[in-house]
């Protein structure tokens, strides 16, 4: 069995996360038992939710345990199997964590899933055709419930979730408007993802300024908003919401370092009879097959062209993760391990 490089959570952040919170170790991979497979990871997914789990605080998921492999999505290849359900060479996705190999007991539901890489690249199963894509689908379809002709807005529009949201909204006949950081990301959203407009939040110093830009991009107001960020972005959108608007609250990256994220205009929730619903996509597994089928079709036909930021080698994972939290990634952040 191969030696396995792993990143453990060594200590919890005090304020901002740092590379010193992680520890790289080399471990011997244990021999397989009946019903287990050995997966060599090709890609490791880095996602903003991981920052919240580094804290020892009450949340929707248990904290990441200290001294254990950092948890996270992986895509790779079965290299050895003691299960009739999997053969060497099968391409799979799972939650293998920040390590080069994982031993998976495949009889446990939801631990591993075979994927078809003939029309969708393996890496996309960690992004557009994986958890981020399904997150966008659920927030749009189940919470916002868009109607053709309505205006949909998403923050972090050039990221893995935001890019899928735009494609899904356009497929339903909606106007899609993004908020992203930097001119290049905004150009990508409009020219490659098909957004009708994208606003560079870095050009604005406060919510009223950003809201004025949203007014120009959304002349008929905002009917649906998918929130990944919080803070100034949410305040700006609140000023442009139509009556009976719907907000799918997915993430609040503005507060992932433990700072409060105040809301400036909560009274507008009542004034406009707004529905605001937070959600965790892993609690809605019954919707994943339908969502993945639509997302895979959008990628295969070129209507969703996801972009990826790929760091090389497991040693790069901590710095790539810290960059993700600062918005330095362009599209889905991955670590390539092979």
Stretches where the chain sits below pLDDT 50 are none
Model pLDDT, residue 261:
86
Please, what is the Cα angle at 167 between 177 and 289, to 5 degrees?
135
Answer yes or no: are the C-beta atoms of 64 and 53 closer than 8 Å. Answer: yes
pLDDT at 119: 86
**pLDDT reported for residue 52:** 87
Q: Which candidate, 219, 217, 222, 189, places its Cα nearest to that of 204?
A: 217
* Residue-level pLDDT at 330: 87
**Contact criterion met (CB below 8 Å) for 92 and 86:** yes
Would you list the DSSP string of 211-279? HHHHHHH-TT-EEEEEESS-THHHHHHHTTEEEEEEEEE---GGGTTS-----S-THHHHHTT-EEEE-
What is the pLDDT, as a whole number, of residue 313? 98
- Backbone torsions φ then ψ of 335, nearest 5 degrees: -120, 125
Count of C-beta atoms within a 10 Å radius of residue 173: 11
175-180 β-sheet, strand order? 197-200, 175-180, 151-155, 222-227, 241-249, 275-278
- Longest Cα separation, the chain: 62
Q: What is the pLDDT of residue 255?
A: 72
The pLDDT value recorded for residue 232 is: 94
3-state secondary structure of 198: strand
Find the radius of gyration of the CA atoms of the chain: 20
Helices (H) and strands (E) in the chain, counts: 9, 15
d(CA 332, CA 74): 13
Question: How far apart are the C-alpha atoms of 31 and 15, rounded to whole Å?
Answer: 40
Reported pTM: 0.88
CATH 3.90.180.10 residue ranges of the chain are 3-126+307-336
DSSP string computed for 6-75 = EEEE-S--SSS--GGGEEEEEEEPPPPPTTEEEEEEEEEE--THHHHHTS-S--SSPPPPTTSBPP--EE
Residues of the chain with CATH 3.40.50.720: 131-282
The pLDDT assigned to 82 comes to 97
List beta partners, residue 232. none
The second-level CATH assignment, the architecture, of 3-126+307-336 is Alpha-Beta Complex (3.90)
- Give the DSSP H or E segment for 151: strand 151-155
Instruction: Determine the pLDDT at residue 203.
Output: 97
**In terms of CATH, what superfamily is 131-282?**
NAD(P)-binding Rossmann-like Domain (3.40.50.720)
């Amino acid at each position: 069995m191969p030696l396995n490089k792993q990143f453990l959570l060594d200590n919890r952040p005090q304020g901002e996360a740092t590379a010193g919170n992680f520890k790289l170790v080399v471990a011997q991979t244990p021999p397989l038992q009946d019903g287990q497979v050995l997966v060599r990871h090709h890609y490791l997914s880095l996602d903003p939710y991981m920052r919240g789990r580094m804290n020892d605080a009450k949340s929707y998921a248990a904290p990441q345990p200290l001294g254990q492999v950092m948890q996270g999505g992986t895509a790779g290849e079965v290299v050895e199997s003691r299960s009739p359900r999997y053969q060497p060479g099968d391409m799979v996705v799972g939650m293998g964590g920040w390590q080069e190999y994982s031993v998976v007991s495949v009889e446990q539901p939801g631990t591993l899933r075979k994927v078809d890489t003939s029309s969708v690249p393996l890496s996309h199963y960690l992004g557009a055709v994986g958890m981020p894509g399904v997150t966008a689908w659920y927030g749009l379809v189940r919470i916002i419930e868009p109607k053709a002709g309505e205006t949909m807005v998403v923050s972090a529009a050039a990221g893995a979730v935001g890019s899928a949201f735009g494609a899904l909204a356009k497929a339903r006949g909606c106007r899609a408007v993004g908020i992203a950081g930097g001119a290049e990301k905004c150009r990508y959203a409009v020219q490659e993802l098909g957004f009708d407009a994208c606003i560079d939040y870095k050009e604005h110093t406060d919510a009223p300024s950003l809201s004025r830009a949203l007014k120009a991009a959304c002349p008929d107001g905002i009917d649906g908003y998918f929130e990944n960020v919080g803070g100034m972005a949410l305040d700006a959108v609140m000023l442009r919401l139509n009556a009976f608007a719907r907000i799918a609250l997915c993430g609040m990256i503005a507060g992932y370092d433990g700072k409060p994220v105040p809301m400036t205009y909560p009274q507008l929730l009542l004034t406009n009879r707004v529905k605001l619903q937070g959600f965790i996509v892993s609690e809605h597994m019954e919707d994943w097959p339908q969502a993945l089928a639509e997302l895979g079709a959008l990628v295969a036909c070129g209507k969703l062209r996801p972009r990826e930021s790929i760091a090389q080698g497991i040693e790069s994972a901590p710095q790539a993760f810290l960059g993700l939290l600062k918005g330095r990634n362009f599209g889905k952040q991955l670590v390539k391990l092979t």
